[in-house]
Amino acid sequence: MPERSQRFLCIASYEKGHDFLRQLADLGIHTTLLTVDKHRHAPWPAECLEELVTMPSGLTNEQILNTVTWMARSRNFDRLVALDEFDMEIVAQLREHMRIPGIGTSAIAYYRDKLAMRMGARDAGFLVPEFVRVLNYDELRAYMDRVPAPWLLKPRSEASALGIKKIQVPEDLWRALDELGDRQSYFLMEQFVPGDIFHVDSIVSEGKVVFSSVHQYGRPPMQVMHEGGVFTTRTVDRESSDWQQLTELNASLAPVLGLQRGVTHGEYIRAHADGRFYFLEIAARVGGAFISDLVEYSTGVNLWREWAKIEVAHLRGEVYTPPVAFEEYAGSVLCLAKEEEPDTSSFNAPEIVHRMRKHHHAGLIVRSRDPQRVSELLEEYSHAFLNQFLATMPAPDRPTA
């Protein structure tokens, strides 16, 4: 009797994860992709898919569960994977409902719920900016009496800087909570800590970080999101104390929060006040804003493909072997552009290795063996992008791409 094919169901509300799908195909996995109707004709790698299924946007979790369990009547799925952060909770629910291995609803909260991850990190001894749940009003009043303003009112389950509001005085908070109504308990409040923000992108296998790469943002993502401007990030000098401290901090986080295998994108802030690193947030996904490309150009490691390899190795009872990485430095510059297809050909430094292709966005990635050269190019190009390409628009409450 022939051996049964191994099948993955990948769910994606947004177009991403092409290399994940390609790697599954390379490993002989039969993959079904479930996405929303508006992405039916997106340039998915169709040759890597056994089937592409679409559903309307805005379905409830129960409706998605019914859709997937209906699909499972004629297909035997061995693994379920959320390619986008906003699908992780429903995929965790599906795993538990269908009894398929993988991270469940309680464990995924540490990588989706900003309140849960802060509590987990703080209880494990990590420095975390002072925070409070938005639940009991006496608790909120005591917090504002104790912790100096300003504060940030943050959605507990949005990605990046979406939906964050800066609160200067208590009256601002009560006004914001009145507007939120019954949704207010889905937020937390956190002390605003000025500082430099870093991100660490990792591969986790059997509860251990087996690869990580440290980068530093230029302007904080929240500032770029809400005030407009040019987004930059660059590889941190591997000989610096910043690289060493963040690598060690990040390596101790995965065992604490419980992720057994996959990829993570963690963010930390070095406070201007005391120079120490504070935990901000972590997600069990590949970083957005072309960060996966940045990691690949600086190390040779494709996080999407390694994530797929880990999932397949676990399914087959095999030992995952971490990739061999090289050590160069890369940086990216990216902004919302006035033109639909901005022309970046006037930027011609030999260090340019990638020109981003995305409607109404201008972006470049540069690479060098010298971290200072990367910093110089990002400084020069961010000013040029500001003058040549930059368009501004209000920050969305929800992601739009």
Residue pLDDT, tens place only, 357-378: 888 899 999 999 999 999 999 9
- The architecture (CATH level 2) of 195-388 comes to 2-Layer Sandwich (3.30)
Q: Is the pLDDT of residue 160 over 90?
A: no
- Considering only the top CATH level, what class is 130-191? alpha beta
Residue pLDDT, tens place only, 295-326: 999 999 999 999 999 999 999 999 999 999 99
Burial class (CB in 10 A: 0-12, 13-18, 19+), 183: exposed
Cα distance between residue 193 and residue 198, in whole Å: 14
Q: 42, 15 in Cβ contact below 8 A?
A: yes
All CATH 3.30.470.20 domain ranges in the chain, comma separated: 195-388
Cα distance between residue 382 and residue 177, in whole Å: 37
Distances in whole angstroms, Cα of residue 231 to Cα of each of 16, 178, 395? 20, 33, 14
- Please give the distance of CA 60 from its chain centroid, rounded to a whole number: 23
All CATH 3.30.1490.20 domain ranges in the chain, comma separated: 130-191
pTM of the predicted structure, to 2 decimals? 0.92
Cα distance between residue 247 and residue 135, in whole Å: 35
Q: Which CATH number fits domain 7-102: 3.10.20.30, 3.20.190.10, 3.40.50.300, 3.40.50.20?
A: 3.40.50.20
What are residue 213's phi and psi, to 5 degrees?
Answer: -140, 135
All CATH 3.40.50.20 domain ranges in the chain, comma separated: 7-102
Percent of the chain surpassing pLDDT 90: 87
Q: Average model confidence (pLDDT) for the chain?
A: 93
The CB density around residue 56, as the number of other CB atoms within 10 Å, is: 10
